[in-house]
Amino acid sequence: MPETLRLSADPDGIARAAALLRAGGLVAFPTETVYGLGGDAADDRAVARIFEAKGRPRFNPLIAHVADLAMAERLAVFDDWARAVAAAFWPGPLTLVLPLRADAGLSPLVTAELPTVAIRLPAHPVAQALLRAFGGPLAAPSANPSGKVSPTRAEHVVEGLSGRIEAVVDGGACAVGVESTILGLDGAPALLRPGGVPVEALEALLGAIATGGDAKKPNAPGQLASHYAPGAAVRLNAVAVHPGEVRLGFGPGAADLNLSPAGDLVQAAANLFHMLRQADALAGPGGTIAVAPVPEAGLGRAINDRLRRAAAPRG
Ligand code: AMP
Ligand code: MG
């Protein structure tokens, strides 16, 4: 990929950034918390590339950024409490976890197949301008390589991700510098991550808020019980196929379904969640899905992590 473009935060820069996003590109942009690494939240390939660019070893759920409440309500079910919180704190550094709408149209990589979606309406004028120009939700984790510090300046983004993303919109330094507060509102209010909005401010509106997720929440690594588990058995690193098995391929060779005939990990990640479901339907109850080996490198680590969860014994 060519060098990462540095775009100015003026109407021309915003228009170019929106065009890159519409073409499936990745564009980092400033929010009031940190720089986000944005991609079209409805585009499997763009979202897969976010994981690749960051070098994330796991498909954890991403926050969907929206331009306005109407866009948010197309993604999630808002009750009166959620509307009251949104009215009080949006735009701002607050992410709400709400029930996902069946017709939300998001890539399953954004929600990691959870029945909920994390949504934020940022206050930063450049983030808002970009979201309006793009016209749809942007999946955007922090714009840093996995395990590194979150970026609060365009230079930080370039240092970490240059050559891995199409562009960064330079909006200067971020004001808050810490991540958004994440509030779970899919049940009793729960603080899933402290951040830019103090919990006391939320409690003034909602009353006492439980801290920390529960076992059903994915905010701690490994707590992915709500992930879709195939009904069929899953056999990993299957070099040969046994009679009656459904072959989920990777790379050249005969297969019922192929994550990527060309052996492209981004394509495989983009197809993974859809094809696991298709393979499960083909295999039927009592059947087996034989998954071809996927290299344990780059995005392959996240793919294999998801496949191992699919293959794990279930009680
Ligand atoms: P980041 O990667 O910095 O954007 O952080 C995203 C955070 O949002 C992570 O802590 C995720 O676990 C959390 N998150 C995203 N979607 C959900 C969800 N549906 N339920 C609970 N937490 C979520
Ligand atoms: Mg981060």
Does the pLDDT at position 223 exceed 50? no
Query: What are the tens digits of pLDDT across the range 33-56?
Result: 999 999 999 999 999 999 999 999
Q: pTM for this structure?
A: 0.92
> Given the CA of residue 142, which atom of ligand 1 is nearest to it?
3
Query: What are the tens digits of pLDDT across the range 250-293?
Result: 999 999 999 999 999 999 999 999 999 999 999 998 999 999 99
Check residue 212 and give its pLDDT. 67
Whether the CB of 128 sits within 6 Å of ligand 1: no
Q: Determine the average pLDDT of the residues in 221-244.
A: 79
Q: Does residue 261 contact residue 271 with C-beta atoms inside 8 Å?
A: no
Whether the CB of 156 sits within 6 Å of ligand 1: no
Residue whose CA is at the smallest distance from ligand 1 atom 1: 141
Buried b (16+ CB within 10 A) or exposed e, 214-250: eeebbbeeeebebbebbebebebebeebeeebbbbbb
Whether the CB of 30 sits within 6 Å of ligand 1: no
Largest CA-CA distance found in the chain, in angstroms, rounded = 62
Whether the CB of 193 sits within 6 Å of ligand 1: yes
CB within 5 A of ion ligand 2: which residues?
Answer: 142
Query: What are the tens digits of pLDDT across the range 57-105?
Result: 999 999 999 999 999 999 999 999 999 999 999 999 999 999 999 999 9
CA 118 to centroid of ligand 1, rounded, Å: 6
Whether the CB of 31 sits within 6 Å of ligand 1: no
